[in-house]
Structure 1
Amino acid sequence: MSMLDKRAIQRSEKLCNSCQVNNKTKEAISWCTICDETFCEQCDECHKSFKFSAKHKLILIKEIQSGNSDLKISEVLSCEEHHEKIVEVYCLDHSKPCCTLCATRSHRKCENVTSIENAATGIKGSKHTTNLGKTLDVRNKEIDEILENRKDCLSKIETTSENII
């Protein structure tokens, strides 16, 4: 998901996720690596000021788009149930990453619970991951071509409209 978010941020303008919840549209200037959310200037300041999120790492979208950010994919993954906790274990029985609190409460009877590091071992070099990466590259090229074609069509429409007027 982080890879897809990074790609989406690199491609186009992102809107502030907090403002969208309130049916507002403001251009985002930063992205929180912990919350996986984008923020406008005002929400960015608020995010930095809350005790809960003050230590979150915020990266400017301009840096991500230019490729100059030190963003690491999946730098930290928060637990779905306990957002303040970091995912440390993986339950193979349920195919679910979770924090240690979830592991002790919800997965204590599961037989195949391992550390997140053990679960991820070898995943980058696996055949499935390699094939998925190739498929994503092909799809990205197709999307880039579609976007370029769309821009060309829009330009032609504007030119034709001006000529008609």
Structure 2
Amino acid sequence: MASSVKNLCTICHDDGIFNPAVIWCTECAVFFCRDCEKPHSKFHLSTNHKTMSTEDYRKLPTFMQEISSQCKDHKKKIELYCPFHASPCCVQCITDKHSKCHEMKPLSDILKQVKSSASVQLFEKDLKDAKENLDTAIKYMKNKISTINTQKSKATEEICYMRKLINDYLNKLEQDLLNDLDSKHSKLKSNMDTLVQQMEHQASQIDLMQSQFTKMTQYATELQMYIGLREIEKIASQATKYSEDLESAEEKNLEMVLL
């Protein structure tokens, strides 16, 4: 398309001259500078051509700028319209593509009052409705996003609160168990300290008895030895029973520690 360099005159550019364009001819599909536009507007074949300023041309959507009044295949002016193919065409197109098509119409008849046609108004309404629907949907989705953000914040607060309750409960449970353990340990240690004292006393008594037994075997008479042995046997029996009682008490104390 000749408008690939939008700001330059097409005629001058073909001659290697870079003059800024001021108008665009919709029928010639050519940009003209001020000098080239004058003969174009006076030439009898192009006097009635529709033109627009380059500023207005650049306001058109890109896809519309690419639409030309010349046939892309034959480089001839598009003057006809094929209803069967719903396609504008040039004279050469009739031979190449539309030889079997009937009721070819002048393109000028199709284009009459196209901007004020019901189709344009319908499309405008459809676009407006589509935009309003999208705006409504966007607003709805933004509200939903705001809602789920609020829900997430509340859920996070609830989780943190529940975590605190659980931590507080576990801390209290831990402290109660530790306090109970300290109490049991103190009581058990006190009992065991008492037993140790008793055992040490019994041990000292046995040491004394051993010393006395040694002296008895060395210096006692037979009668003294006979009677003394019975006393020693009685004391030894008591010591044995005391040791057995200690073993039973020790096992009981260990069980208390395990509980």
Q: TM-score range by the shorter chain?
A: 0.3 to 0.5
State the TM-score, normalizing by the size of structure 2.
Answer: 0.30
Of structures 1 and 2, the larger Rg is shown by 2
Higher strand proportion, which one?
Answer: 1
State the TM-score, normalizing by the size of structure 1.
Answer: 0.44
Of structures 1 and 2, the one scoring higher in RCO (CA 8 A, sep 6+) is: 1
